[in-house]
Amino acid sequence: MLTLKVIIENKDEVVRRLAKKHFDAKELVDRIIETDRARREAQQQLDANLSEVNRLSKGIGNLVKEGRKAEVDEARLRVAEIKEANKALNETKEASERQMSELLMLIPNLPHESVPEGNGATDNIVEKQGGVIPVLGAGAVPHWDLAKKYDLIDFELGVKITGAGFPVYKGYGCRLQRALINFFLDNAREAGYMEIQPPYVVNADSGFGTGNLPDKEGQMYYVAQDNLYLIPTAEIPVTNIYRDVILNDSDLPVKNAAYSACFRREAGSYGKDVRGLNRLHQFDKVEIVRIDKPERSYASLQEMVDYVQSLVEKLELPWRILRLCGGDISFTSALTFDFEVYSAAQQRWLEVSSVSNFESYQANRLKCRYRDENKRPQLCHTLNGSALALPRIVAALLENNQTPEGILIPQALIPYTGFDRIGV
């Protein structure tokens, strides 16, 4: 969340920048400033009262020695009155602090100045693109038909066992999944990311730390008996490794990568976009997380974008990078680039990665800090990105590489699959 200092010292700028996210912050910012004023006034009166109590208490000893009983009784009565008044002041201060926390959670992250204006996905800007869109033959079919033809993925069996959105991978489909996971992890290690194997369930504090709670609780699977959440992304457990941690300057940048299964309710999803692997409730993903100094975080973001680009290029997929507009960027992000690959049989672009800089928004919730050159704790900047999410990568690989002789495997992936084609 934004720091109180940023909101108070930059009120007009906060309101102006959040308008790009189509968020009217004026009334909320005014309430935050007023709540802070009430908190500070209560604290100032408490400090003044404490000073008076200390002065009276010291004086009482001298009055007792001098036998001035009436003045002693008067001073003790005044101390009792102040202590009683302090109870109400403490209640006011604590209520203001609770309200302050609740109000601050309602404020989105400020979009970076480079975020374009726009209302939604159609207003995102194509930043860059590459690769060659394949021209498929007359008999080309979408990936769900290929999965059935070559017995790679059984969507109906997943419905029987669990429900829609939980496919069962089989045979070469399993091997392709494992190959991609290892390919992504090996590339991450070679790029300097340390591999993490995180839990797949997290507590509410972890969800709050990355901004998934309370904003996205409707999209997360919840285990009520244990008050735990299934992770929608490895970003949550990996970033929370650094909750309540003060890093040394020499520790930065932190670069972690993690494979995990991901679980998303995808409430409200319907229509053709959910067919096959396009939108699942359970899927596999390799995530990269970086923590860096504020002055280096946008250079880190560019490195992450370049890295994800290298992955889709190695897989020989047509790709494009979108700079998300104000109406499409997430609540917690300052700047996001989405990666899409082209699905030739569906004749549409499929999102496979979002790479984002959260600046200090998550770090403030996490209390993730580092010691600067003067040894003073400062908030870090946090970043993360998919590198990559598997389902739509698999969809594009199957569709784009289908031939009468089977489905061809990209050259870079063959050492991981152990085969160069699926089928004939």
Q: Which one, of 302, 282, 307, 267, lies nearest residue 390 by Cα?
A: 282
* Other Cβ atoms within 10 Å of 116 Cβ, number: 16
Predicted pLDDT at 214: 84
Predicted pLDDT at 70: 76
- Give the strands of the sheet with 421-422, arranged side by side: 402-403, 406-408, 421-422
Predicted pLDDT at 56: 81
Spatial separation of the C-alpha atoms in residues 137 and 141, rounded to whole Å: 9
Three-state secondary structure call for residue 195 = strand
All domains of the chain in start order, with CATH: 4-104 (1.10.287.40), 121-422 (3.30.930.10)
List, in order, residues 6 or more apart from 358 with CB less than 8 Å away.
Answer: 109, 211, 332, 333, 334, 381, 382, 383, 384
Predicted pLDDT at 74: 78
Taking the CA of residue 187 as centre, how many other CA atoms within 13 Å lie in the half-sphere pointing to its CB? 26
Spatial separation of the C-alpha atoms in residues 275 and 389, rounded to whole Å: 17
Q: Residue 416 is which amino acid? A: Y
417-421: long-range contacts (C-beta < 8 A, 24 or more apart)?
Answer: 417/175, 417/176, 417/179, 418/175, 418/179, 419/172, 419/175
Predicted pLDDT at 201: 98
Spatial separation of the C-alpha atoms in residues 283 and 263, rounded to whole Å: 7
pTM over 0.75: yes
Predicted pLDDT at 72: 67
Start-end of H helices in 66-195: 69-104, 143-149, 155-161, 172-190
Q: Which one, of 419, 390, 424, lies nearest residue 406 by Cα?
A: 424
Q: Residue 125 is which amino acid? A: I
How far is the CA of 137 from the CAs of 194, 201, 291, 410, in angstroms? 43, 44, 46, 19
Which H/E stretch holds residue 7? Answer: helix 4-9
- Walking along the chain (424 residues) 10 residues at a time, the average pLDDT comes out as 96 98 97 95 91 78 67 76 88 94 96 98 97 94 98 98 97 98 98 98 97 83 96 98 97 98 80 83 98 98 98 98 98 98 97 98 98 95 98 98 97 98 90
List, in order, residues 6 or more apart from 420 with CB less than 8 Å away.
Answer: 408, 409, 414
